[in-house]
Amino acid sequence: MDAFAEYRRWLENVRDDELLADLRSIEGDEEEIRSRFSRHLSFGTAGMRGILAAGTDRMNVYSVGRATQGLADYINEEFGGGSVAISYDSRIKSEEFARETASILAANGIKAYLYSRLMPVPMLSYAVRELKCQAGVMITASHNPSQYNGYKVYGSDGCQMTDAAADAVLGKIEAHDYFSGIKSEDLSEALSSGRAEYIPDEVCESYYRALMTCRVNPDIPGKDSSISVVYTPLNGAGNEPVRKVLSMCGFNDVTVVPEQENPDGNFPTCPYPNPETEEARRLGLELCEKVKPDIFIATDPDADRVGVAFPEKDGTFRSLTGNEAGILMLDYILRGATENGTLPERAVAVRSIVSSPMTDEIAANYGVEMRVVLTGFKYIGEQILHLEQAGESDRFVFGFEESCGYLGGSFVRDKDGVYASMILCELTGYYKSRNTTPLEVLDSLYDKYGYYRNRVANIAFPGADGIEKMQAVTAGLREKPLSEIAGFKVVESDDILRHEHKAADGTVTPIDLPASDVLVYTLENGAKVIVRPSGTEPKMKLYICAKEDSAEKSDRLGEELEKATREAAGL
């Protein structure tokens, strides 16, 4: 693509005053023009995501329009028409993009179901299934910085689109120009004619009722298990549904961080609204020092992820990693279901390949099968679908990813921060009624299963050539395979892209996982190192899992393995 010719074409064709002013502001800036116009914003199984600005490699009303026209063409060809559910979060332009999506779908003869106000990812996934739609669109950039937005596409099963479907949609998108051939109509006319419809409140109420069926101990909170909660929606879409569900459960002592309560796509107190980070949790933790709650929870802007912290004995708060929260939740769910006699026969839990293998031991302790899938919650949703197709969806008890994503029940097929907030509050009350705390329980689990420590390193690769540079890293590791890391011999390795598992004796056997640019190294001491490019951000990710007989030793080993891996990979 000739970036400068495309830039001039946008100057001639853009009719949006804000985008036109943006285009004029970069006139003469050759590097910025190349960055914005050297390629199209990529579209894959997670849809597309990018910085809000004018350009072919940016998120704007024209890139949304082109993507939606491609999606409409795909639905009309594949299904002969149908319907699409649409939701959006608090990000800048989210509502505008959602309405544009509905207008284009309606003009293409596809019924557009649109939430009348911002709603989170899990409620979009639920609506797709409840309304029997052929697809769903969530306007969000999840936990990315405030200058980003995105367009996440779901299939009829409520999961993010499969590789095959995303490729088919991409083919339709590529057949369209940004400024012509996009069918659209006024949304008010589409609503009055019935070609578009606001999603009924009953769908929300049905989702809340479904969540109540996931409770492990519905009698919590009782007189000995009432708790206080500090919660922050990080200026996102979680405020209404999280507080609603906690109230339905009886958790009424909830203090919301005031600066982060209302929707605000600028995220003024934390420009990177990721509940995994201390920056995003800072204001909430400061409020905890005054309120002294039993639990602090934070959801990201589209409320599919949740972060959590609990008070130590000295009153300070300890933030859990995504893995630690998953460990605590899995053990609570299986423990409670076992006590109550509600654990299904041949129960199944699912984790991503980069999440803590400590959960494998916990699942085995309760006689539960743990399935391991690639990173991406669609693969967890896919496992639920397999069970559903076999008439066994009730076997699924829990799924999680280390990046603070959790799911229970089979009615949603993506991460559900509303569900996770409910379960975390419930387990807090449960342990309080037994004169213990979640942190004491977590420490006892480490004593029982070993001190698993997981580290995640994110190495940024900004710029137009970031993806190529990341691919070069993994290509280099394939060309010169690692034989040792930090002095520990590599005894097994997995190349998911090539579907190859290399055993200690050198035997190579096939791996039954979809192709993905992931390298896994198992060391002689049992530690694991995983290298993969992020699927949603320009970052290379290193996952280190170390297990020793103390937290200190595990932490030290993890640091050594990360340093050695960075050096070996040239990071």
Classify strands 110-114 and 82-88 as parallel, antiparallel or unpaired.
parallel
Q: Which of 35, 90, 125, 142 is catalytic?
A: 142
Question: Contact at 8 Å (CB) between 494 and 501?
Answer: yes
- 370 with 359: CB under 8 angstroms? yes
Amino acid at 296: F
Q: If you count them, how many residues does the chain have?
A: 571
How many C-beta atoms surround the C-beta of residue 103 within 10 A? 26
**Four-CA torsion 405, 437, 359, 556, nearest 10 degrees:** 90
> Tokens 């109420």 map to which residue?
205
Closest by alpha carbon to 396, among 343, 353, 356, 329?
A: 343
Taking a C-beta distance cutoff of 8 angstroms, is the pair 376, 160 a contact? yes
Active site (annotated) includes residue 142: yes
**Helix boundaries (H) for 394-485:** 417-433, 438-449, 466-479
3-class DSSP assignment, residue 270: coil
Residue 55 carries which side chain, given as an amino acid letter?
Answer: G
Cα 118-408-128 angle, rounded to 5 deg: 45
**CA R_g for the chain:** 24
Helix, strand or coil, per DSSP, at residue 214: coil
Beta-bridged to residue 86, according to DSSP, are 114, 137
Q: Per the omega criterion (within 30 degrees of 0), is the bond before 241 cis? A: no
E strand segments, 100-142: 110-114, 135-139
Separation between Cα atoms, residue 88 and residue 91, nearest integer Å: 8
Q: How far apart are CA 47 and CA 86, in angstroms?
A: 14
> Which residues does the annotation mark as catalytic?
142
